[in-house]
Amino acid sequence: MSRKQHNKLPFKHLKLVEDFSPKNKRQEEFIRLIEDYDITVAKGTPGSGKTFVALATALNLLGDIYKKVILIKSVNTLPGEEIGFLKGGMEEKMEPFVMSYSWNIDKLCGQGAAKDLLDKKLIEILPLAYIRGLSIDNSIVIIDECQNIDTHIFKSIITRIGENSKYIFLGDVEQIDLKAKKNSSLGIIFELFKDTELMGLVEFLDEDCVRNPIIPKILNVLRENNI
């Protein structure tokens, strides 16, 4: 993966990011779309590397234009609870919800990289609700589990994109947790924008799974039984 600007990552992490390479054609397409579009949406099978590839591409693009990567995850708390009432600062509050990000960053950039990049403000973690009041400039924003974002929230989030920024939406339409599944934005956005040049859209299929070949086999059995 080549850099298009001077990357601000510490060298020990940068070398590993530069060594990342896509494992299949779909991942190659995903990287190209992220580089070419301000907004990219990826949906599809678990284990296809959506989050890992998004992180690798975003970190590789850090530099003079994109100064930080903002990690967003939809936070589902218990009834009556709000993220603000959890103990600790924002990073500590969000830690249980974004652990998958941290694991991927450490796997990609080396042990302890997530904490190091957070300390250096090259990565920022925010709950979904906080982004709705911001104007996002000079950043790459990765929004995971977006199948659990309804169209109203999606509209609110998408209007926050500012100058020199990119959005990367990730999700799987088979893992919707919303009570009204029809309100999930992921499938709707794909359908609405598939014939436009406004967004880069990519769908990962079972054949694109890189985690473990047993995953698509299990998914097929579950689908056949409407699970």
pLDDT in tens, 153-181: 899 899 989 999 999 999 999 988 888 88
Q: At 68, which CATH number?
A: 3.40.50.300
Task: Kindly state whether residue 117 falls inside one of the protein's structural domains.
Answer: yes
In this structure, how many other beta carbons lie within 10 angstroms of the beta carbon of residue 90? Answer: 15
Task: Kindly state whether residue 104 falls inside one of the protein's structural domains.
Answer: yes
The answer to whether the beta carbons of residues 127 and 102 sit under 8 Å apart is: no
Task: Kindly state whether residue 3 falls inside one of the protein's structural domains.
Answer: no
Task: Kindly state whether residue 189 falls inside one of the protein's structural domains.
Answer: yes
pLDDT at 75 over 70: no
Round to whole Å and give the CA distance between 1 and 15. Answer: 11
What pTM was estimated for this model as a whole? Answer: 0.85
> 184-221 as b/e, with b when 16 or more CB fall inside 10 Å?
bbbeebbeeeeeeeebbbbbbebebbbeeeebbeebee
Task: Kindly state whether residue 142 falls inside one of the protein's structural domains.
Answer: yes
Residue 104's pLDDT band, with cuts at 50, 70 and 90, is confident
Task: Kindly state whether residue 118 falls inside one of the protein's structural domains.
Answer: yes
What pLDDT does 73 receive? Answer: 73
What's the mean pLDDT when you consider all of the chain? 84
Task: Provide the number of structural domains found in the chain.
Answer: 1
**Cα–Cα–Cα angle for 118, 123, 128, nearest 5°?**
110
The answer to whether the beta carbons of residues 185 and 153 sit under 8 Å apart is: yes
If you compute the radius of gyration of the chain from its CA atoms, what whole number of angstroms results? Answer: 17
- Residue 203 belongs to what domain range? 11-224
Q: Which residue has the tokens 């904490």?
A: 115
Task: Kindly state whether residue 67 falls inside one of the protein's structural domains.
Answer: yes
Task: Kindly state whether residue 4 falls inside one of the protein's structural domains.
Answer: no
Q: Is 223 helix (H, G, I), strand (E, B) or coil?
A: helix
